[in-house]
Amino acid sequence: MLEFDTTQDQLANIKVIGVGGGGNNAVNRMIEHGVQGVDFIAVNTDAQALNLSKAETKMQIGGKLTRGLGAGANPEVGKKAAEESKEQIQEALRGADMVFVTAGMGGGTGTGAAPVVAQVAKELGALTVGVVTRPFTFEGRKRATQAASGIAAFKENVDTLIVIPNDRLLEIVDKNTPMLEAFREADNVLRQGVQGISDLIATPGLINLDFADVKTIMSNRGSALMGIGSGNGENRAAEAAKKAISSPLLETSIDGAQGVIMNITGGANLSLYEVQEAADIVASASDPEVNMIFGSVINEGLKDDIVVTVIATGFDDSIATQPPKPIIRPNVNHTQQQQQPVAQPLKQREVKREMKREEPIVHERHSDSDDIDIPAFLRNRRRR
What value does the mean pLDDT take over residues 191-197? 82
263 is in an annotated binding site: no
What's the rounded Cα separation, in Å, for the pair 294 and 276?
Answer: 11
pLDDT band at 259 (very low <50, low <70, confident <90, very high): very high
21 labelled as ligand-binding? yes
- Residues 6 or more apart in contact with residue 381 via CB below 8 angstroms: 255, 256, 285
The closest alpha carbon to 325, from 376, 383, 379, belongs to 376
In whole angstroms, what is the distance from residue 102 CA to residue 99 CA?
10
Full residue range of the structural domain in which residue 279 is found? 222-318
379 is in an annotated binding site: no
Cα(294)–Cα(156) distance, rounded to whole angstroms? 29
Q: Which of the listed residues 203, 237, 254 is the one where a domain comes to its end? A: 203
Overall number of domains in the chain: 2
Q: What is the three-class DSSP state of 156?
A: coil
Residue 332 has pLDDT above 70, yes or no: no
Establish if 151 belongs to a structural domain: yes
Q: What is the pLDDT of residue 374?
A: 57
Share of the chain above pLDDT 90, in %: 51
Alpha helices in the chain (DSSP H): 20-32, 47-50, 63-66, 75-84, 86-93, 109-123, 141-155, 169-172, 179-202, 211-218, 236-244, 272-285, 317-320, 376-382
Q: Using CA atoms, how far apart are residues 131 and 102, in angstroms rounded to an integer?
A: 5
**Which residue did the predictor score with more confidence, 237 or 171?**
237
pLDDT in tens, 64-117: 999 999 999 999 999 999 999 999 999 999 999 999 999 999 999 999 999 999
Same domain, 192 and 242: no
Per the annotation, does 295 bind a ligand? no
pLDDT for position 7: 47
Residue 291 among known ligand-binding residues: no
Where does a domain end: 169, 203, 237? 203
DSSP type of residue 313: E
51 within domain boundaries = yes
Q: Same domain, yes or no, for 197 and 243?
A: no
The answer to whether 22 is annotated as binding is yes
Residue 43 shares a structural domain with residue 189: yes
pLDDT surpasses 80 at 168? yes
Strand pairing class (57-60; 39-44): parallel
Q: In what order do the strands lie in the sheet containing 225-232?
A: 225-232, 305-313, 259-266, 291-298, 352-354
Question: Is residue 186 domain-shared with residue 260, that is, in the same domain?
Answer: no
329 annotated as a binding-site residue: no
CATH code of 248's domain: 3.30.1330.20
Residues 185 and 261 in one domain: no
pLDDT category of residue 327 using cuts at 50, 70 and 90: very low
157 is in an annotated binding site: no
Same domain, yes or no: 192 and 235: no
Q: Is 25 annotated as a binding residue?
A: yes
- Region of 161 please: left (phi>0), alpha (psi -120 to 50) or beta: beta
